[in-house]
Amino acid sequence: MRAHVLSRLAAALCGLLVLAGLTGCGGDGDSRDSAYCSTLKDERKQLADLAAQAGKPGTDVLTPTAEALGRLRDAAPHDLRDEWDTVYYAWSGLVDAVKQAGVDPGDYRPGRTPAGVSAADARRLGEVAAELSSPRVVDASRGLEDQARQVCHVELRV
């Protein structure tokens, strides 16, 4: 896999894990926004823990990150659904590609091809990982960050 794609994957992982830096939610919106802001706040510890564990060998941060993003997607107001779909499916696609390659998600690290992975699987992993830093996913993430700031009064640390 190419080093720049993998470094962009690492940046995407860190960027999405900025949700761990949530500082709180406001209640200025309707009840759906309030419930969503509450879910953002509730996911804070989980995502903070994942961010802290991201570099530890043998630790699966991919699967629980996708699960947390799925919970946020499910709680999101209708007007954010497209953005959350984009982010969630990019992450869950990586989890699926890692598992399909026969790699334990805890052993997957950007920048390293796990032992026993074929060239075709390594190429596929690189393609799927690159999706996390694609303009489509980056734009969706920025939109979610803006909404968090404006509606939930949450600053995401990048």
Residue 155 inside a domain? The answer is no
Identify whether 12 is part of a domain. Answer: yes
Range of the domain at 72: 3-150
Report the amino acid identity of residue 100. Q
In a domain? residue 158: no
In a domain, 92, yes or no: yes
> What's the predicted TM-score (pTM) here?
0.77
Q: Is residue 156 part of a domain?
A: no
56 burial (CB, 10 Å; 0-12 / 13-18 / 19+) is exposed
Tell me whether residue 93 is in a domain. yes
Residue 142 lies in a domain: yes
Total structural domains in the chain?
1
In a domain, 41, yes or no: yes
**Full pLDDT tens readout for the chain, 158 residues:** 444 444 444 445 545 444 444 333 444 445 667 889 988 878 777 877 888 888 788 899 999 999 999 999 999 999 999 999 999 999 999 999 999 999 999 888 877 787 889 989 999 999 999 999 999 999 999 998 888 888 888 755 42
